[in-house]
Amino acid sequence: MAGKQTAPRLGSAQRAALRAVIFDLDGVLVSTDELHYQAWKRLADEEGIPFDREINQRLRGVSRMASLEIMLERAPRHYTAAQKQALAERKNATYRALLERLTPADILPGALALLHALRQQGVRLAVASSSKNCRFILQRIGLEDFFDAVVDGNDITRSKPDPEVFLLAAQRLGVRPEHCLVVEDAVAGVEAAHAGGMRAMGVGHAASEPRADLRAESLAQVTAEDILRVF
């Protein structure tokens, strides 16, 4: 998708009906934060680079290569582009091995009930994630065939807060952006949703984001009716 794609948000007099809900994956439907940390920590230790949970927090919602650059800020040596790519591949190999542990029991509280309730309301559903492991994770938790559309890091060239991932999901759903709500746990995701002309619900780490149109600590605290009332 060439060029930055944005669309204006609608005013109250122009409110559109909800047609689709687009879910981020990690931190919304399932949590792999600890697995990411373990994989980055192992790589950093092997390379002699200081890395802790505080640094790890800066990696939330950030692409793999951008995360690597953050980790390398304290590196005692310089890495070439080829060496950086090799490091990223090592981290991902460790992470994918850890993902093998995931099961449907790892779906976050309230997620399945909300998904089924929205489907019963005739709402189309998508997953839009910057993770290149998105489809593998969905397979591990038993949701690989559940959604009407899936967009992941293999499909996009720009990370959030650019709205590319959400706009592509809406396109694949056949739904205009103003009829979509995005569920996100990162502030950058809320920003991306609004930049794409969509409404946004902040959960988890984004539950206190004042720009979100709906906020909740977890999906267990939200009903399909709550989401429908946003429109």
Q: Which structure tokens are listed for 122?
A: 């005739």
* CA nearest to 162, candidates 135, 137, 195: 195
208 neighbors 194 (Cβ within 8 angstroms):
no
What lies within 8 Å, CB to CB, of 224 at 6+ separation is 114, 117, 118, 120, 121, 123
Is 162 one of the catalytic residues? no
Q: Where are the alpha helices (DSSP H) in 100-223?
A: 111-120, 134-140, 164-173, 187-195
Q: Which structure tokens are listed for 99?
A: 């993902």
Is 26 one of the catalytic residues? yes
Catalytic residue among 24, 152, 155, 213: 24
- List the catalytic residues: 24, 26
